[in-house]
Amino acid sequence: MQIKEADRQDFLTKQTWKPDLQNEVLPTNGFGAHTADIFNSAIAASAIAALFDLGLFDELQQSEAIRLQEFCEKRELHQPAILMLLYTLACFDIVTLSPAQDLVRPGKAFAETCRDKGYFLWLVRGYGYLWQNLSDLVKSGKGNFDSVGRDGGYIAKAGRDYGAQFVDAYFTEMLYQMPFKVAADLGCGSAMRLINLAKQNPAFHGIGIDINDGAVKLAQGAITAANLQDRLTVVHADAGRLQAQPEFAEVEVLFCFFMAHDLWPRANCLKVLQQIRSVFPRLKRFLLSDTYRADLPASRHVPIFTLGFEVTHAVMGQYIPSVAEWMELFTEAGWNCVERREIGIPFSAIFDLR
Ligand SMILES: C[S@@+](CC[C@H](N)C(=O)[O-])C[C@H]1O[C@@H](n2cnc3c(N)ncnc32)[C@H](O)[C@@H]1O
> CATH number of the domain that 332 lies in?
3.40.50.150
Which residues have any ligand 1 atom within 6 Å of their CB? Answer: 152, 155-156, 159-160, 163, 187-189, 209-212, 215, 238-240, 257-259, 262
Looking at the structure of the chain, the number of domains it has is 2
Q: How far is the CA of 227 from the centre of ligand 1 (A)?
A: 23
Does 313 map to a domain? yes
Query: Strands of 253-257's sheet, edge to edge?
Result: 232-236, 205-210, 182-186, 253-257, 285-291, 348-353, 337-342
Among protein residues, the one whose CA lies closest to atom 5 of ligand 1: 189
User: What angle (nearest 5°) sits at the alpha carbon of residue 52, between those of residues 95 and 98?
Assistant: 25
Pure H helices in the chain: 5-14, 34-53, 56-62, 68-75, 79-91, 110-121, 128-132, 134-137, 152-166, 168-175, 192-200, 213-225, 266-279, 306-315, 323-332
Does 125 map to a domain? no
Output the CA–CA distances (angstroms, integers) from residue 200 to 49, 151, 335, in the order listed. Answer: 30, 30, 29
More confident residue, 31 or 183: 183
Q: How far is CA 145 from the centre of its chain?
A: 17
Does 176 map to a domain? yes
Residue 164 sits in the same domain as residue 224: yes
pLDDT digits (tens, 9 = 90+) for 211-256: 999 899 999 999 999 999 999 999 999 999 999 999 999 999 999 9
Half-sphere exposure of 202 (CA within 13 A, CB side): 0
pLDDT digits (tens, 9 = 90+) for 38-77: 999 999 999 999 999 999 999 999 998 999 999 999 999 9
Among protein residues, the one whose CA lies closest to atom 9 of ligand 1: 159
Residue 161 sits in the same domain as residue 230: yes
pLDDT of residue 4: 65
Residue 204 sits in the same domain as residue 105: no
pLDDT of residue 1: 46
Residue 222 sits in the same domain as residue 109: no
Among protein residues, the one whose CA lies closest to atom 10 of ligand 1: 259
Pure H helices in 176-263: 192-200, 213-225
pLDDT of residue 70: 97
pLDDT of residue 317: 93
Residue 167 sits in the same domain as residue 308: yes
Q: Which of 117, 134, 159 is the last residue of a domain?
A: 117
Residue 289 sits in the same domain as residue 185: yes
Which of 73, 167, 83 is CA-nearest to residue 118? Answer: 167
Does 131 map to a domain? no
Q: How far is the CA of 136 from the centre of ligand 1 (A)?
A: 25
Does 330 map to a domain? yes
Residue 81 sits in the same domain as residue 170: no
Residue 27 sits in the same domain as residue 161: no
Does 132 map to a domain? no
Res. 100: pLDDT tops 70? yes
Q: How far is the CA of 257 from the centre of ligand 1 (A)?
A: 7
Q: Which of 117, 143, 167 is the last residue of a domain?
A: 117
Q: How far is the CA of 290 from the centre of ligand 1 (A)?
A: 11
Its pTM stands at: 0.87
19 band by pLDDT with thresholds 50, 70 and 90: low
Among protein residues, the one whose CA lies closest to atom 25 of ligand 1: 212
Q: Which atom of ligand 1 is nearest to the CA of 167?
A: 8
List 92's β-bridge partners, or say none: none
The alpha carbon dihedral of 232, 233, 238, 243 has a sign of negative
Structural domain including 106 reads 5-117
8-state DSSP, 245: -
Does 145 map to a domain? no
Mutate to test the pocket of ligand 1, among 157, 166, 168, 210 (most ligand atoms within 8 A of CB): 210
Q: Which of 117, 142, 159 is the last residue of a domain?
A: 117
Residue 197 sits in the same domain as residue 74: no
248/132 Cα distance (integer angstroms): 40
Q: What is the CATH number of the domain that holds 68?
A: 1.10.10.10
Pure H helices in 102-250: 110-121, 128-132, 134-137, 152-166, 168-175, 192-200, 213-225
Residue 15 sits in the same domain as residue 162: no
Averaged pLDDT of the chain: 92
Q: Which atom of ligand 1 is nearest to the CA of 240?
A: 19
Does 207 map to a domain? yes
Q: How far is the CA of 156 from the centre of ligand 1 (A)?
A: 8
Residue 22 sits in the same domain as residue 83: yes
Q: How far is the CA of 188 from the centre of ligand 1 (A)?
A: 6
Residue 195 sits in the same domain as residue 109: no
Q: How far is the CA of 272 from the centre of ligand 1 (A)?
A: 15
What average pLDDT does this structure show over 300-325?
96
